Chains A and B, each alone.
Chain A
Amino acid sequence: SQQGEEDPQALSIQEGENATMNCSYKTSINNLQWYRQNSGRGLVHLILIRSNEREKHSGRLRVTLDTSKKSSSLLITASRAADTASYFCATHGGSGNTPLVFGKGTRLSVIA
């Protein structure tokens, strides 16, 4: 069953503003990942946060994880037009044979 559900479905902001996307999931996880998909392209891995971590940074990206609420957020600071893309959270439940399960994504539009 699908685990990740992103919120909002679509987000439109001005260049320079921060963008926050949320992800909720249903069952226990080993780690949670965020991916970006530009229009007409494949998904690209952005960042991974493990279940025993609460926050992680990578450049302008900040990811938080709250396992008690089964939720994660992705913050993109000082957004740029090039950040326009769909962002997906993906959860990994446990053993290597369990698949990475993706949410439906948040469509982010950054207006120059």
Chain B
Amino acid sequence: DTAVSQTPKYLVTQMGNDKSIKCEQNLGHDTMYWYKQDSKKFLKIMFSYNNKELIINETVPNRFSPKSPDKAHLNLHINSLELGDSAVYFCASSQLRSRPSGANVLTFGAGSRLTVL
């Protein structure tokens, strides 16, 4: 039973297209994240939602728009795709509240590899 699941696992598309990646977690966590991992394996936070509320929004182009319909889902929509958007996008979740201060352990999905041609 997958804890954090992302779809699709692979996505190949042309420049200029719009695409979405979906994420769902069944852990009952209150916080979800999107991270981007580039070709050099550097993992960078993009967004974080806590109970459907945006709490972290790093410097990400406006073409990226996250949506959280409920606390178990966090989707990522990308408009006007560019070559530089090619990367692996990871969804993660954690239980932020009701934890000892700072004990924010993330559970990751398997990743969605986006290739923009």
Taking Cβ atoms with an 8 Å cutoff, the residues of A that contact B are 2, 30-31, 33, 35, 37, 40-45, 48, 50, 86, 88, 90, 92, 94, 96-97, 99-102, 104-105, 107
Contact = CB atoms under 8 A, between A and B. Distances in A.
Contacts of A30: 101-102
B105 interface: yes
Contact of A104 (B40, B55, B105, B108): B40
A50 to B, nearest CB: 7
A43 B42 CA distance: 12
Contacts of B109: 42
A43 B101 contact: no
Contact of A97 (B43, B56, B92, B108): B56
Interface string B25-64: 0000001010100001111110010100001101000000
Interface residues of B, number: 30
Contacts of B92: 42-43
A43 B45 contact: no
A92 B33 CA distance: 14
B101 A97 contact: no
Contacts of B56: 97, 99
